[in-house]
């Protein structure tokens, strides 16, 4: 046997050996016998995904915003199941509490039609569907193939030495010990975004205003108020 | 928990948001789909933070910290985005991304894409372009002064 063939054989043997090792470690938590947390995650995930799909496909614009609430709330539950407690409450507060309300305000200020609007989807719907399905297939394939034998130790995360790893105390310590500078920079960014939103949504100054022609959409009661 | 569960869910949510961004016509629905994509990224960050911090002795908790930053940036983004959509609606009378083709090249002379609903719509918006901003501005004024 030539040395090259021996090397190849040895490499193959080593590969199968590590493969067997990985396979021997994994069945401690079997793929076909899911734990309760996994079942809960799966169920909430199905609800979240369904709500997201309805959000992007429904023809009633206000219903899309309300289904978005379901999707974001489901994600908050997923964060809780992943022991990220603080993130879950921040998600509920900011997304469900303010972002969706802001979106509803936007829908109503732009006079979005209540009820079914036939032109909610644009003409390139089929191309979008093809792109989305192709990217979903690629991503799911890659992700499943990459993390087939990876497990999250949720029990260890909850009952760790320093308490729960995702608890508010741990998150706050990490945030204000290691991430103070980005945190403060983020506050400046939020201020800039707020000022920018106010400037953008402010009406133009009265000097540069054109005289507006009389519109039939103006009710007479508000005419007196001017 | 198997790491594939949150990773697959996040991939599916991201692709749902991708479909919404590509297929929706109302600008606010596009913003909603962007929120879905950002949330998919957040789920990935949280899951990988839990996975990676179980092995490390000392961890920065970068996943959770970056998730908080992403949430804050998403809030800023939705504020700016809605302000832009409202400004566009005030000036044009529509928040339809298919009708905002001022910077599109080659769409004005030869009409529009054949067979699609964009043809008559864009023609109508071009014909009543002088009246639409005026009514939009007037209606906005009455709202603001009332």
- For tokens 């998919």, name the residue: B40
Structure tokens at B86: 């409202």
Strand, coil or helix: A150: coil
Q: Is the pLDDT of residue B29 over 80?
A: yes
Range of weakest confidence among A36-50, A95-109, B34-48, B103-117: B103-117
**A82 and B23: CB-CB below 8 Å?**
no
- Whether the CB-CB separation of A226 and A215 falls below 8 Å is answered with no
| Dihedral sign computed on CA atoms, order A211, A214, A218, A224 | positive
Structural domains for chain B = 1-98 (1.10.287.3510), 106-146 (no CATH)
DSSP letter at A96? I
**A82 and B12: CB-CB below 8 Å?**
no
B123–chain A nearest CA distance, Å: 16
Cα–Cα nearest to A56, from B23, B1, B126: B23
- Whether the CB-CB separation of A61 and B29 falls below 8 Å is answered with yes
CA torsion angle A10 A14 A20 A23 (round to 10): -150
pLDDT at residue A57 in the model: 92
pLDDT at residue B132 in the model: 43
Give strand pairing partners of A116. A60
**B85 and A106: CB-CB below 8 Å?**
yes
- The beta-carbon neighbor of A106 closest among B24, B28, B75 is B28
**B68 and A87: CB-CB below 8 Å?**
yes
- How large is the ipTM? 0.75
Helix (H) or strand (E) holding A193: helix A180-201
* Per-residue pLDDT tens listing for chain A (226 residues): 455 555 555 555 555 444 444 444 444 555 566 788 889 999 999 999 999 999 999 988 889 999 999 999 999 999 999 988 899 999 999 998 899 999 999 988 888 777 787 777 877 889 999 999 999 999 999 999 998 888 888 777 666 555 566 688 888 888 898 899 999 999 999 999 999 999 988 876 555 544 444 444 444 444 334 3
Q: Which residues contact A136 (CB under 8 A, 6 or more apart)?
A: B11, B12, B15
Answer yes or no: pTM beyond 0.80.
no
Count of H helices and E strands in chain A? 10, 0
């Amino acid at each position: 046997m030539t040395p090259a063939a021996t090397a190849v054989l040895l490499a193959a043997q080593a590969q199968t050996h590590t493969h067997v090792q990985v396979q021997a470690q994994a069945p401690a938590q079997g793929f076909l016998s899911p734990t309760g947390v996994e079942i809960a995650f799966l169920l909430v995930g199905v609800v979240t995904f369904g709500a997201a799909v309805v959000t992007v496909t429904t023809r009633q614009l206000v219903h899309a915003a309300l289904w978005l609430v379901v999707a974001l709330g489901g994600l908050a539950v997923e964060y809780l199941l992943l022991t990220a407690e603080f993130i879950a409450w921040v998600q509920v507060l900011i997304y469900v509490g303010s972002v969706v309300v802001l979106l509803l305000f936007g829908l109503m200020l732009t006079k979005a039609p209540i009820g079914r609007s036939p032109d909610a989807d644009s003409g390139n719907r089929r191309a979008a569907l093809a792109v989305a399905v192709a990217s979903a297939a690629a991503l799911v394939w890659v992700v499943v193939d990459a993390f087939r034998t990876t497990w999250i130790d949720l029990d260890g995360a909850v009952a760790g030495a320093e308490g729960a790893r995702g608890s508010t105390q741990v998150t706050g310590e990490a945030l204000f010990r290691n991430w103070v500078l980005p945190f403060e920079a983020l506050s400046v960014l939020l201020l800039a975004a707020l000022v920018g939103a106010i400037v953008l949504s402010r009406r133009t100054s009265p000097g540069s205003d054109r005289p507006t022609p009389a519109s039939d959409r103006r009710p007479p009661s508000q005419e007196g108020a001017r | 928990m198997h790491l594939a569960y949150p990773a697959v869910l996040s991939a599916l949510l991201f692709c749902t948001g991708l479909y919404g961004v590509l297929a929706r016509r109302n600008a606010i629905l596009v913003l909603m789909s962007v929120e879905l994509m950002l949330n998919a990224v957040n789920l990935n960050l949280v899951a990988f933070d839990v996975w990676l911090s179980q092995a490390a002795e000392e961890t920065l908790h970068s996943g959770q910290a970056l998730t908080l930053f992403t949430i804050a940036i998403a809030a800023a983004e939705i504020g700016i985005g809605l302000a832009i959509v409202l400004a566009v609606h005030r000036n044009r009378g529509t928040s339809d991304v298919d009708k905002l083709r001022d910077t599109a090249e080659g769409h004005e002379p030869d009409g529009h894409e054949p067979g699609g609903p964009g043809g008559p719509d864009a023609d109508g918006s071009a014909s009543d372009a002088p009246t639409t901003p005026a009514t939009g501005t007037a209606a906005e004024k009455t709202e603001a002064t009332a």
